């Protein structure tokens, strides 16, 4: 189809996720991609870009991996789909559950599969509440999450999300969700104090679980202080609150460890995952639970587990996930993420030294951020109507780099999450392009 026709059809029929319908109607899609290869995406105009976001933080092993296509083809020809409901099972999901149990922290050994991140988080809340019900404490229903958190857009995960714009859509906010401070521009002590206050205010006997992303992604790649999650674990233990780690972005090598919490040697009670488990080649996700929670699910008194999706443990997606994890391990992508992340940070620091509009720069593995500020000495922000981050994203497009802005709470943050297969030369090219884009924005601001 001609590009013009595709643009028109897109405008007419395609409701895009998290989009401004108005903008889409006026301008059409910014890109129509048709080919992916390694860290690169090529659009219908024939222009090639560095995909510095791994699409949506998920294409961990890079684009165009024929190994995954072959596994999917074989599995589809053999058994494309059969259900995992109740007493039905199949080999790919069994092997994947065993594999995930083997790479997860020691006490987490059983997996419930879903089709994506939002379903995984909603499932984790139901499992946490179910656990307390079985334990004879049905009043424990509340979920504490944090400001700036993103946990998805299903009913419960929307409420756990700490970005109020998401609640406004159709009044989705549901009861029993509360938000504490996150350690952004705050110390561990301040963030923990805020958590403690929320717990005391709500009543510890009403709280089922606390959920947190090890590194907040959509909130602006917020990397916590080193002691933060250990303090969180202590606080959860003190009040008997389950700790859910949302590893949907941070899982499967992204931060230089297989799972994000491993950076601080902390064991959660539940871990949710999606995205990187299949590197996005097929939609998939799940919740890994502790042995103690698994035991409560087996309790006869609870009867049937009335929870499950048609695609829980989808055989083809499971086979693809198994191959994807094998590639992450065999190609040492965790280690590569750590080393390339350190190189990326050095590059960001050079950009900061050359420019007058760069505030904090940070990376953990291949999750990174550059903050654009009016005055790096005082961290004074730009006025929101200058749309600095949006302009920077356009300047990055002009340089052939796909990135993502974070603009709420008057921040101008550019997020980075390139595929874990990126090599030194590619990191250097990415840094050079980001450098030129940042200086172009600075010049424009004057």
Alpha helices of 66-150 — where are they, by DSSP H?
66-79, 91-103, 117-134
Q: Minimal distance in Å, beta carbon 1 to ligand PLP?
A: 28
Sole window of 181-189, 243-251, 263-271, 296-304 interacting with ligand PLP (rule: CB under 6 A): 243-251
Query: In sequence order, what E strands does 310-377 have?
Result: 358-364, 367-372
- 117 near ligand PLP (CB under 6 A): yes
The correct pick among 54, 60, 75, 118 for binding ligand PLP (CB under 6 A) is: 118
3-state secondary structure at position 209: strand
The residue from 122, 246, 371, 442 that contacts ligand PLP (CB under 6 A) is 246
Question: Would you count residue 221 as binding ligand PLP (CB under 6 A)?
Answer: no
For ligand PLP, give the closer residue by CB, 369 or 388: 369
Q: In what order do the strands lie in the sheet with 142-146?
A: 108-114, 285-290, 270-273, 242-246, 207-212, 142-146, 177-180
Question: CA-CA distance, 346 to 151, in Å (whole number)?
Answer: 30
Indicate whether 317 belongs to the interface with ligand PLP (CB under 6 A): no
Q: What is the dihedral sign for C-alpha 17, 149, 259, 340?
A: positive
First to last CA, the chain: 43
Q: Is 116 in the site for ligand PLP (CB under 6 A)?
A: yes
Verify binding: residue 218, ligand PLP, rule CB under 6 A.
Answer: yes
Local structure of 68: helix, strand or coil: helix
Return the residue of 36, 152, 276, 405 that touches ligand PLP, per CB under 6 A.
Answer: 152
Q: To the nearest whole angstrom, how small is the minimum distance from the Cβ of residue 252 to ligand PLP?
A: 13
Which residue's CB comes closest to ligand PLP? 117
- 53-92: which residues touch ligand PLP (CB under 6 A)? 56
Distances (CA, A) of 362 to 221, 300, 344, 371, 395: 8, 49, 9, 9, 20
Number of residues that bind ligand PLP (CB under 6 A): 15
Examine residue 367 and tell whether it contacts ligand PLP (CB under 6 A).
no
Q: Is 248 among the residues that bind ligand PLP (CB under 6 A)?
A: yes
CA 254 distance to own-chain centroid: 10
Paired tokens of 405: 């802005």
**Would you count residue 257 as binding ligand PLP (CB under 6 A)?**
no
- Cβ proximity to ligand PLP: between 274 and 288 the closer is 274
Residue 373 CA to residue 273 CA, distance in Å, equals 33
Q: Are 416 and 328 in contact (CB under 8 A)?
A: no
By CB under 6 A, is residue 150 in contact with ligand PLP? yes
Question: What 8-state DSSP symbol labels residue 222?
Answer: B
- Candidates 163, 207, 249, 406; binder of ligand PLP (CB under 6 A) is 249
Residue 96 binds ligand PLP, judged by CB under 6 A = no
Cβ closer to ligand PLP: 57 or 382?
57
Q: Which stretch binds ligand PLP (CB under 6 A): 66-74, 113-121, 123-131, 376-384?
A: 113-121
263 binds ligand PLP (CB under 6 A): no
Least distance to ligand PLP, CB of residue 310, Å:
16
Residue 299 neighbours by CB distance under 10 Å:
11
Name the nearest CA neighbour of 406 among 214, 217, 191: 217
Output phi, psi for 136, to 5 deg: 85, 20
Out of 63, 65, 129, 151, point to the residue binding ligand PLP (CB under 6 A). 151
Nearest approach in angstroms of CB 56 to ligand PLP is 6
Which positions lie near ligand PLP, rule CB under 6 A?
56, 116-118, 121, 150-152, 213, 217-218, 246, 248-249, 274
């Amino acid at each position: 189809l001609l590009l013009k026709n595709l643009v028109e059809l897109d405008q007419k029929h395609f409701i895009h996720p998290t989009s401004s319908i108005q903008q889409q109607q006026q301008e059409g899609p910014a890109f129509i991609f048709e080919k992916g290869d390694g860290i690169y995406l090529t659009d219908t105009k024939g222009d090639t870009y560095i995909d510095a976001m791994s699409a949506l933080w998920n294409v961990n092993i890079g684009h165009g991996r024929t190994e995954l296509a072959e596994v999917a083809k074989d599995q589809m020809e053999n058994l494309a789909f059969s259900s995992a409901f109740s007493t039905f099972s199949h080999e790919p999901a069994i092997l994947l559950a065993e594999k995930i149990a083997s790479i997860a922290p020691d006490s987490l050994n059983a997996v419930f599969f879903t089709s994506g991140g939002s379903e995984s988080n909603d499932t984790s809340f139901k499992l946490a509440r179910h656990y307390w019900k079985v334990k004879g404490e049905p009043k424990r229903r509340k979920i504490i999450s944090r400001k700036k958190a993103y946990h998805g857009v299903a009913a419960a995960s929307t409420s756990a999300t700490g970005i109020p714009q998401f609640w406004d859509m159709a009044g989705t906010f549901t009861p029993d969700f509360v938000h504490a401070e996150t350690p952004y521009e705050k110390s561990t002590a301040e963030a923990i104090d805020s958590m403690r206050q929320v717990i005391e205010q709500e009543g510890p006997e009403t709280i089922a679980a606390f959920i947190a992303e090890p590194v907040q992604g959509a909130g602006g790649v917020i990397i916590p202080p080193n002691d933060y999650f250990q303090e969180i674990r202590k606080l959860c233990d003190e009040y008997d609150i389950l700790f859910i780690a949302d590893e949907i972005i941070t899982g499967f090598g992204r931060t230089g460890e297989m799972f994000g919490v491993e950076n601080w040697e902390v064991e959660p009670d539940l871990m949710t995952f999606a995205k990187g488990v299949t590197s996005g080649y097929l939609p998939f996700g799940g919740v890994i639970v502790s042995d103690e929670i698994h035991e409560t699910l087996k309790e006869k008194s609870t009867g049937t587990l009335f929870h499950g999706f048609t695609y829980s443990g989808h055989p083809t997606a499971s086979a693809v996930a198994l191959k994807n994890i094998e590639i992450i391990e065999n190609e040492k992508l965790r280690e590569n993420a750590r080393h390339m992340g350190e190189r990326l940070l050095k590059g960001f620091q050079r950009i900061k030294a050359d420019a007058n509009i760069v505030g904090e720069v940070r990376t953990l593995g291949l999750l990174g951020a550059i903050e654009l500020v009016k005055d790096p000495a005082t961290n004074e922000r730009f006025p929101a109507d200058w749309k600095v981050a949006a302009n920077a994203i356009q300047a990055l497009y002009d340089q052939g780099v796909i990135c993502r802005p974070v603009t709420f709470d008057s921040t101008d943050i550019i997020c980075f999450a390139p595929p874990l297969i990126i090599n030194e030369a590619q990191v250097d090219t990415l840094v050079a392009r980001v450098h030129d884009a940042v200086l172009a924005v600075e010049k424009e601001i004057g």
